[in-house]
Amino acid sequence: MTRRVVVLTAGLSQPSSSRLLADQLADAVSAAVTARGEAVEFEVVELRDLATELATTVITGGLPTPAVAAVREQVSAADGVIAVTPVFAASYSGLFKMFIDVLDPESLNGMPVLIAATAGTPRHSLVLEHAMRPLFTYLRAVVVPTGIFAATEDFGSPGLGERVHRAAAEFATLIVAEQTAVAGFVPDEPRRQRHSGNSLATPTPFAQLLAGHTGHTGNGHSRA
């Protein structure tokens, strides 16, 4: 059985250190999955290419453009996600967060996710535990224990390679397993369904919702 993994990379430059790290992780995951007698395919999503589409989706009240809708389908239908972001102001990038904001809240239920981040200095390494892990945990994803942070000086070092292979092995174990053993999950029960959100009804514009309350005060009485 072939597993499908979506690789999300939020690098802004080209070439991008975030894309470089994402490619290293994908190569390591491919080797780890193959070693388990399985096959894996990767779908790389460069969020930089979706920037305008994401902004349009946000300002139209969450109504996705065709390009955003297609990526939401990719994510919700995947067997796992590798998410890599550059660090800005001690957190994930605004582009990365904007993409997460347009996902359906049910799109990552039980989804194995490997988190990674890049920055110019090692001082930002805690972004994995203080920002990215809580974000994906909130979305009920299964975040692998080993997250990967790479400062500029880490690229090409043996230490980074060792961490990448350890994280890839953990991720591979999750995506090839028939059931994911996580706290609160009962293997004999069906997993929570994932939804892209694309089949839901068109959201009512906020201005229209407010219009229904025009002429009323907060306590339910009409204004004089």
pLDDT of residue 179: 42
pLDDT of residue 14: 85
pLDDT of residue 62: 85
pLDDT of residue 188: 43
Going by C-beta distance under 8 Å and a sequence separation of 6 or more, which residues neighbour residue 218?
none
> Beta strands of 89-204 (E only): which ranges?
91-92, 112-119, 142-143, 148-151
Distance CA 194, CA 83 (A): 18
Going by C-beta distance under 8 Å and a sequence separation of 6 or more, which residues neighbour residue 83?
8, 96, 113, 114, 115, 116, 132, 136
Q: What angle, 0 to 180 degrees and rounded to 10, lies between the N-to-C axes of helices 66-77 and 51-59? A: 100
22: phi > 0 → left, psi -120 to 50 → alpha, else beta; which? alpha
Residue 211 to residues 158, 196, 215, 218, 219: CA-CA distances in angstroms?
Answer: 61, 29, 9, 14, 17
The pLDDT tens digits along the chain (224 residues) read 899 999 999 999 888 999 999 999 999 999 999 999 999 999 999 999 999 999 999 999 889 999 999 999 999 999 999 999 999 988 999 999 999 999 999 999 999 999 999 999 888 999 999 999 999 999 999 999 999 999 999 998 999 999 999 999 999 999 998 444 443 444 444 445 665 556 554 555 556 656 665 555 555 444 44
**Amino acid in the structure at residue 63:** L
Q: Does pTM surpass 0.85?
A: no
Distance CA 133, CA 168 (A): 16
Parallel, antiparallel, or unpaired: how do β-strands 39-46 and 2-9 relate?
parallel
